[in-house]
Amino acid sequence: MTRVTRLATMMALLTALSSAGLAEPGASTSSGADPNRAMSSAALPFVQLAPLISNDDYPPESMSDEEAGTVKFTITVGPDGRVSDCIVTSSSGFERLDKLTCRLIRQRARFGAARDGRGKPVARALRSRITWQL
């Protein structure tokens, strides 16, 4: 079984457990949906999104103020493959970089649809991080 197949199976199981009321409730996102509420954020699948952000995206104000750091975040990917929510789970220490990270990820990241056991597209949560370096 490939990693993608295992992930799809896990997501379908979590969706089924949640629908059946067997998943433990967790923190909700600003969109009101948490497709992985039975899992802690550390247990969410990690996805590499750093290639979506380049040095050209570095805010000039952050450069002049020598702001740098790593932003860790969790995203919710809707059934359409677009990022519907982004929550910073560990700040870079600079609000400007944290907000920009989520804005850029919402604009640029696209994913294939996750599917439940019946083949219906479903939302899912993923975690990632971006490091801003001067």
Total-model pTM: 0.68
Task: Name the maximum alpha-carbon separation found in the chain.
Answer: 52
Domain 3-132 sits in CATH at 3.30.2420.10
Strands ordered across the beta sheet of 124-132: 83-90, 69-77, 124-132
Q: Domain ranges in the chain?
A: 3-132
Per-residue pLDDT for the chain (134 aa), expressed as one digit of tens each?
444 444 454 555 444 434 433 333 333 333 344 444 434 555 689 999 999 999 999 999 999 999 999 999 999 999 999 999 999 999 999 999 999 999 999 999 999 988 999 999 999 999 999 999 99
